[in-house]
Amino acid sequence: MSHVMNTYARQPVAFVRGEGVWLWDEAGKKYLDALAGIAVNTLGYGHPKLKRALAERLASGVLHTSNLWRIPMQEAAADRLAEITGLDEVFFCNSGLEANEAAIKVARKYGHERGIAEPAIIVMEKAFHGRSLATLSATGSRKVQAGFEPLVSGFVRVPLNDLDAVRQVAEHNKNVVAVFIEPIQGEGGINVSRLEYLRGLKEICERNQWLFISDEVQCGLGRTGKWFVYQHAGFLPDVVPLAKGLGSGVPVGACVVGGRAKGVFKPGNHGSTFGGNPLAMTALVTTIDTIKEEGLLANAARVGEIIRNGVPRGEGITEVRGMGLMIGMELARPCLELVRQALDAGLVINVTAENVIRMMPPLIMSEAEGRMVLERLAPLVQGFLEKRVAA
Ligand SMILES: Cc1ncc(COP(=O)(O)O)c(C=O)c1O
pLDDT in tens, 292-310: 999 999 999 999 999 999 9
Q: What is the pLDDT of residue 372?
A: 98
Q: What is the mean pLDDT of residues 218-239?
A: 98
Task: Work out which ligand 1 atom sits closest to the CA atom of 186.
Answer: 16
Q: Is 216 in the pocket of ligand 1 (CB under 6 A)?
A: no
Q: Is the shortest distance between the CB of 100 and ligand 1 below 6 Å?
A: yes
- The CA distances from residue 66 to 69, 70, 93, 209, 283, in Å, are 6, 8, 12, 36, 17
Asked whether the predicted pLDDT for residue 389 surpasses 80, the reply is no
Alpha helices in 177-320 (DSSP H): 195-208, 229-233, 278-293, 296-310
pLDDT of residue 73 exceeding 90, the answer is yes
Residue type, 115: G
For the residues 230-235, what does the mean pLDDT come to? Answer: 98
How does pLDDT run across 98-130, given as a tens digit for each residue? 999 999 999 999 999 999 999 999 999 999 999
Give the distance (Å) from ligand 1 centre to CA of residue 127.
10
Sequence length of the chain is 391
How crowded is residue 9: how many other Cβ atoms within 10 Å of its Cβ?
7
Query: Which atom of ligand 1 sits closest to the CA of residue 98?
Result: 11
pLDDT cut 90: percent of the chain above it: 98
How far apart, in whole angstroms, are the C-alpha atoms of residue 101 and residue 88?
19
Is 74's C-beta closer than 6 angstroms to any atom of ligand 1? no
pLDDT over 90 at 390, yes or no: no
Q: What is the whole-number distance in angstroms between the Cα of residue 130 and the centre of ligand 1?
A: 5
Q: Tell me the whole-structure pTM to 2 decimals.
A: 0.98
| Rounded distance from Cα 255 to ligand 1 centre (Å) | 13
Mean pLDDT of the 247-261 span: 98
Atom 7 of ligand 1 has which residue's CA nearest to it?
96
Q: What is the pLDDT of residues 139-195, one digit of tens each?
A: 999 999 999 999 999 999 999 999 999 999 999 999 999 999 999 999 999 999 999
Is 391 a residue whose pLDDT tops 60? no
- 217: CA distance to ligand 1 center in Å? 6
**From the CB of 85, is ligand 1 less than 6 Å away?**
no
- Is pLDDT at 262 greater than 80 in this prediction? yes
Ligand 1 pocket, mutate which of 104, 217, 223 (most atoms under 8 A from CB): 217
CA of 97 to the centre of ligand 1 (A): 6
CA of 61 to the centre of ligand 1 (A): 31
Q: Average pLDDT, stretch 359-369?
A: 98
Enumerate the β-bridge partners of residue 389: none
What is the pLDDT averaged over residues 373-383? Answer: 97
Q: Could you tell me which of 287, 369, 298, 358 has the C-alpha nearest to residue 20?
A: 369
Which of these, 157, 155, 230, 168, lies nearest to 193 by C-alpha position?
230
Looking at every residue in the chain, the average pLDDT score rounds to: 97
Among 97, 180, 242, 274, the mutation site with the greatest number of ligand 1 atoms within 8 A of its Cβ is: 97
Nearest atom in ligand 1 to the alpha carbon of residue 132 is 11
Q: What are phi and psi of 94, to 5 degrees?
A: -125, -5
What pLDDT score does 166 carry? 98
Q: What angle do CA 144, 181, 224 make, to 5 degrees?
A: 105
Q: How confident is the model at residue 387 (pLDDT cuts 50, 70, 90)?
A: confident
Query: What pLDDT is recorded for position 334?
Result: 97
Ligand 1 centroid – CA 23 distance (Å): 23
pLDDT value, residue 1:
74
Q: Is 95 in the pocket of ligand 1 (CB under 6 A)?
A: yes
Residue 243 CA: nearest ligand 1 atom is: 10
- CB of 136 sitting under 6 A from ligand 1: no
Q: Is the CB of 330 under 6 A from ligand 1?
A: no
pLDDT at 139: 98
CA-wise closest residue to 221 among 161, 278, 300: 300
pLDDT tens digits, one per residue of 306-349: 999 999 999 999 999 999 999 999 999 999 999 999 999 999 99
Give the pLDDT confidence of 45-60 residue by residue, as tens digits.
Answer: 999 999 999 999 999 9
Residue 146 has a pLDDT of 98
What is the mean predicted confidence (pLDDT) over 49-74?
98
Contact 312, 375 (CB under 8 A): no
**Cβ of 240 less than 6 Å from ligand 1:** no
